[in-house]
Homo-oligomer: A and B are copies of this chain.
Amino acid sequence: VLAARVAERESQIVLGLDPDPGALWPGAELAGSANGAPADRAAAAVLHHCREVIDATAEACVAVKLQLARFELLGAPGWAALEEVAAHARLRGLLVIADGKRGDIDVSAQAYASALFGGCETPFGWLPGLGAEMATVNPLMGVDAIAPFVATARAAGAGVLVLVRTSNPGAADVEDLAVSGGGAVWERIAEIVARLGQDAAGETGLGDVGAVVGATEPAHLVRARELMPRAVFLLPGVGAQGGRVEDLAPAFAPGRAGGLITASRSIVNAYLAPENSAAGAGAAAAARAEAERLREQAWALSAAPA
């Protein structure tokens, strides 16, 4: 699914939606009716904002990444808005990545996986779940915390993105610990990812167990590709965190869909940049331009080798 969509849209850009109710696009606040509980009003405004951002940038993107934390903050109305944002993204031809970094075992992992991917049958009828095409998963608890997500995703034709080496400074505290016998903790996690994805690599050469690998440290990216030759990489950290698209070539070794570059605030808040503010660029126009700039850069970088 992913490889075809990347080819069709000629994009590896993932629009990160991370809506802060206090920093929505101008006008979004009006969508929240003046009456109603704060959470309902905030959720209406967030939904409006997300739809606008999607409409502005969808052409340059292949997927949206929905930061679940921001929706949970709004409680039940937030979860309803999350479902509507996902539906709207699909309407615009985008895949949906649920960024919840869930990790648990057994029936709890199964419940998370059903909630995010395929839904489940209950005595009360079918619960559809979010229907995400991909979801981020935290591997700390080990293989039995990842496997239920992989199985459920596989059954639904979806994929899993395991946190392997994240882009934050704190990654040094646990992920980078050196393991006796060689390598770092994150490299062991990478080996688990490679093993779990092994059976499922389709014609495209890409498996359905991918990895989150920060774009901030190019050396890690090379090593990650060695360890996970067929994994899709979700690459956060471009822009605000200092990662550069031109350093991401190793991600595309297995093909153009081998790397997904996620950008959130650098797209959504492009209109606040000094050069755009001065030009009076509207939020939508600035976001579209930034997404298109990233798209062109990544697409050129990932051109299949001759």
Binding site for B on A (CB under 8 A): 18, 20-22, 29, 32, 37-39, 41-42, 45, 67, 69-70, 72-80, 83, 101-109, 111-112, 114-115, 120, 122-127, 129, 138-145, 163, 166, 168-175, 177-181, 185, 188-189, 192
Are B72 and A111 in contact (CB-based, < 8 A)?
yes
Partner of A108, one of B18, B123, B125: B18
Structural contact, B70 and A108, CB atoms closer than 8 A: yes
Number of copies: 2
Distance A197 CA – B273 CA, assembled complex (angstroms): 39
A70 and B185 form a contact (CB under 8 A): no
With A and B bound together, what is the CA distance between A255 and B37 in angstroms?
A: 43
Contact with A138, one of B70, B103, B124 (Cβ below 8 angstroms): B103
> Are A106 and B179 in contact, CB atoms less than 8 angstroms apart?
no
- Inside 8 A of A169's CB, which chain B residues have their CB? 142, 144
Q: A69-B109, A142-B170, A177-B179 are in contact. List 7 more A-B contacts (CB 8 A).
A: A45-B124, A67-B104, A72-B115, A73-B114, A75-B129, A140-B175, A174-B188
Q: Which of B20, B21, B75, B129 is in CB contact (< 8 Å) with A79?
A: B75
User: Is the beta-carbon distance between A80 and B75 smaller than 8 angstroms?
Assistant: yes
Shortest Cβ gap from A277 to chain B (Å): 21
B124 touches A38 (CB 8 A): yes
Known: A109-B69, A180-B178. A139 touches B142 (CB 8 A): no
- Across the interface, do A140 and B142 meet the contact criterion of CB distance under 8 Å? no
Give A72 to B177 CA distance when docked, in angstroms: 33
Bound-complex Cα distance A138 to B139 (A): 10
**Are the CB atoms of A168 and B180 closer together than 8 Å?**
no
The answer to whether A77 and B76 have CB atoms under 8 Å apart is yes
